[in-house]
């Protein structure tokens, strides 16, 4: 049996240019299997464009190497569900309707309760969970999340991240997530990479609580309530 590389992803000298603007400049990093990498940085730093390049949706320079066995699931930041006049059942059927019940169950939803609902009738938390279920229905080994709790309340946000942690541990999934929430970065990722067109920091996520590092990444002090 072929031995799998310990790295699921290797990125070398990634550059993304638009007319008269460089979005990302010479970005290089590696991501180990089974770990979670938080992508952080100010607005306009190139975080979402990095994801688009990783998904091969936009042209880029440099090298992106996924492991040969990679199977990617993706949850976008925004989806205007009111513009999609279909039910959850119809949405899940785009991938595999036979796995809808188990996929929805894995994200804490009762399929009997939500399958017949239209996407636009779901709460913010329910919609995010349906999107995650859709992403995991075909059992990927890599998940990309672009701010996966956009539009949900704080209680739902915490529940969703706990659910993602459980999915990661159960299925040995490698995750990349974009987030601005310091405690989410600290508690639910192993490593963090700060972007501001280039990589300004790569290291263990627990370091996000260091005030000097926060100032370097965000350009201003970030007030944090210390745990007792």
pLDDT, tens digit, for every residue of 114-124? 999 988 888 87
CATH class, range 1-70+141-147+174-228:
alpha beta
How large is the angle between the packed helices 154-171 and 124-136, nearest 10 degrees? 10
| The pairing of beta strand 198-204 with beta strand 191-196 | antiparallel
CA distance 155 to 140: 27
Q: What is the pTM of this model?
A: 0.85
How distant is the alpha carbon of residue 115 from its chain centre?
24
pLDDT digits (tens, 9 = 90+) for 163-218: 888 888 888 899 999 988 888 899 999 999 999 889 988 999 999 988 888 888 87
Task: Please state the rounded mean pLDDT for residues 11-25.
Answer: 92
Per DSSP, the three-state class of 179 is coil
How do residues 20-62 score in pLDDT, each as one tens digit? Answer: 889 999 999 999 999 999 999 888 889 999 999 999 999 999 9
Distance CA 40, CA 34 (A): 19
Query: Which of the pair, 151 or 122, is modelled with greater confidence?
Result: 122
Of the candidates 91, 162, 185, 82, the one whose C-alpha atom is nearest the C-alpha of residue 124 is 82
Domain spans in the chain, listed from the N-terminal domain onward = 1-70+141-147+174-228, 72-139
Contacts of 30 (CB under 8 A, 6+ apart): 7, 9, 10, 11
CA distance 220 to 64: 32
């Amino acid at each position: 049996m072929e031995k799998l590389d310990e790295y699921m992803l290797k990125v070398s000298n990634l550059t993304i240019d638009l007319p008269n603007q460089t979005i990302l400049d010479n970005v290089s990093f590696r991501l180990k299997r089974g770990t979670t990498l938080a992508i952080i940085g100010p607005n306009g730093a190139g975080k979402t464009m990095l994801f688009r390049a990783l998904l091969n949706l936009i042209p880029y320079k440099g090298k992106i190497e996924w492991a040969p066995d990679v199977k990617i699931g993706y949850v976008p930041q925004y989806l205007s569900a009111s513009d999609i006049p279909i039910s959850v059942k119809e949405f899940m059927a785009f991938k595999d309707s036979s796995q809808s019940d188990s996929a929805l169950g894995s994200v804490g939803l009762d399929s009997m309760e939500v399958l017949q609902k239209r996407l636009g009738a779901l709460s913010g938390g329910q919609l995010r969970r349906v999107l995650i279920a859709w992403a995991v229905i075909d059992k990927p080994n890599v998940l990309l999340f672009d701010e996966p709790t956009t539009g949900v309340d704080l209680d739902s946000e915490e529940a969703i991240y706990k659910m993602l942690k459980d999915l990661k541990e159960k299925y040995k999934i490698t995750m990349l997530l974009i987030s601005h929430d310091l405690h989410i970065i600290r508690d639910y990722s192993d490593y963090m990479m700060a972007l501001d067109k280039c990589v300004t920091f790569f290291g263990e996520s627990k370091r996000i609580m260091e005030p000097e590092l926060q100032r370097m990444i965000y350009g201003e002090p970030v007030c944090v309530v210390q745990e007792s």
